[in-house]
Chains A and B, each alone.
Chain A
Amino acid sequence: MPTLEKTTDEILALAAVHFKVSRAELKPEDDFYKKLGLNSLQTLDLLTRLEQHFQIELPDYELQGVSDFRTLAERIHARL
């Protein structure tokens, strides 16, 4: 099983590629809605890409109240 740090790093790398942001600009504590400029459709896009990348199901409600990459990684990590 990967470490939480590795999961976080993979999320940051995926977000950087798909939302065309420099990887160096993204930090675990960043608010991903603000940092990536996500609207509702882009949030669904991110959710789908995360599910595909980690081969998990992440129900939308798991994202409620989550805005930083680190907590997002914890939610994903709990399903690996």
Chain B
Amino acid sequence: MKNFRGTALSWQVVDGTIELLLDRTPCNEIGSATLAELEQFTAALGNLQNEAHALIVSSARSEGFCAGADLRELYRESQKLSPTARASGVRDFLERIHGVMNTLDAAPITTIAAVHGVTFGGGFELALACDLIVADKMARFCFPELRLGLIPGFGGIPRLKRDLGNAMVRDLLLTGRSINAVKAQSVGLASQVVAEGEALRVARATAAQLAKLDRHTAAAAKAFIKPIPDDELRREIDIFCDLFTRPAVEAGLRKFVDSTDALPYLP
């Protein structure tokens, strides 16, 4: 499928670049609808990458790139289930989103996340699965999961460890604070920081540059420099599922869903 328009995202091939556009109100929260369409995308990627040398992931929402998992859906749906079924349901969701992230991470074409505004939780993890992050200077990155009594669960911890020093990983995970684009670039997360509203244009210019390079060589280089330990990804799922069954998580989710706080992601 060369072009697709769903309820949460769309994609098209433009000048040899696949453009995946997230567009779900309010800020591309990843719930069951987005996951299903991301799976459609990764299933189509095998054919799409035959006619493309790059992939750009961006957001149509002014609020930001992606605010992470759809916590309202997670809370609502988990309330309908027994504790055993909850644990099983969340593991199934994590296995599926890991499948999406792993496919993006290992795609033989170069992938670019063009981010702005809120790039939190699962949204941050999606950006980390890409090869390059082009950040609007108003982008903010954050792993707020500890507020809920959880850890990032979409493969974010092994990917963060791959890209950053352990001290910065601990800072982001254990404080849950957000960092701006300039800080993200200084620690090695973002490859470029651009003016407000310019991330997609710069990502396209970067993709145009990639078209000049031999794609076989680029794929070989990527495969060499971007391995990720499978056992750490599996361990992350196990830890997340163990934590998810604790009463503190249900309380944390309820507090988040009910919050009118200006900084609801903070512990």
Interface residues of A (CB under 8 A from B): 33, 38-41, 43-45, 47-48, 51-52, 57, 59-61, 63-64
Contact = CB atoms under 8 A, between A and B. Distances in A.
B153 interface: no
Contacts of B117: 41, 44
B216 to A, nearest CB: 40
The 6 closest A-B pairs by CB, nearest first: A59-B177, A43-B262, A48-B180, A60-B177, A40-B262, A51-B180
A61 B138 CA distance: 19
A76 to B, nearest CB: 14
Nearest to B183: A57
Contact of B175 (A41, A43, A61): A61
Contacts of A47: 140, 178, 180
10 contacts: A33-B262, A41-B118, A45-B138, A47-B180, A48-B138, A51-B180, A52-B180, A59-B177, A61-B266, A64-B263
A47 B63 CA distance: 15
Interface string B145-164: 00000000000000000000
Contacts of B142: 60
Given A45-B138, A48-B140, A52-B137, A39 B177 contact: no
B262 A61 contact: no
Contact of A64 (B63, B178, B182, B266): B266
A44 B266 contact: no
B264 interface: yes
Given A59-B177, A60-B178, A61-B175, A40 B183 contact: no
